[in-house]
Amino acid sequence: MSTETEPATTTASTQPPGAPAAANPAAGAAGQFHFDPDSYLELVLAEVPGYARLQDEVGAAAATTRGPVTRVLDLGAGTGETSRRVLAAHPGASLVALDESEPMLAAARRALPADAELVVGRLEDPLPAGPFDLVVSALAVHHLHAAGKADLFRRVADVLRPGGRFVLADVVVPEEPVDVVTRVCADHDRPSSLLDQLSWLVDVGFAATVRWRERDLAVVTADRH
């Protein structure tokens, strides 16, 4: 495990990686699959060995923002695991949680505050209107192609207030093949290298820092200029 603290200077649905399709996949133009919310946590713990630590690191990264956090956006919120950790750090904040799966958001509703706004939508769709003080995403962005990731980062910057923070936690393509420990599926998992994602964040005006990295998982903080 290695942790980097220097900002990047390069210029260059919360579906668990490698998870099989559910018995009743939701048909649609994008070919997305939906999972049983009741078994989702068990599934993701099996597929992502470092999941608990990753979520802890997201919560810690969300807790150290510059300025007050009154409005939070969670992209690929799933059953609300990430949102709960973020709201524990910012208990007075309002939450907008986006996920493409209605059943997952229904499960999140039971775990999140009654005033949380739950939005059914894809990462490729226009984001909920800002400004937000904090945007988080855990194990969702790796489903996008490279161009889709870069475009999402641009749109996240657009909805963040100046000085706001984006916390990205995801599976990445590691530098060493021996560090591939999270099973991925070529049909719907498209992880990118950490350096590429840092570059795309910098290109759209973020100061990006690797907060935590272990094997093929990483948590990045990206602060908007």
**How much is the average pLDDT of 211-224?**
98
Answer yes or no: is 15 within a domain. no
Number of domains in the chain: 1
C-alpha span between 201 and 179 (Å, rounded): 24
Number of C-alpha atoms within 13 angstroms, CB side, residue 168? Answer: 27
Give the Cα-Cα-Cα angle 123, 133, 3 (nearest 5 degrees).
80
Domain CATH code at residue 61: 3.40.50.150
Domain with 218 in it: 37-224
pTM assigned to the model = 0.86
Confidence of residue 60 (pLDDT cuts 50, 70, 90): very high
Q: Tell me the pLDDT tens digit for each residue of 110-124.
A: 999 999 999 999 999
Answer yes or no: is 5 within a domain. no
C-alpha span between 84 and 79 (Å, rounded): 10
Q: Tell me the pLDDT tens digit for each residue of 131-150.
A: 999 999 999 999 999 999 99
DSSP 27: P
Answer yes or no: is 30 within a domain. no
Answer yes or no: is 11 within a domain. no
Answer yes or no: is 41 within a domain. yes
Answer yes or no: is 75 within a domain. yes
Answer yes or no: is 17 within a domain. no
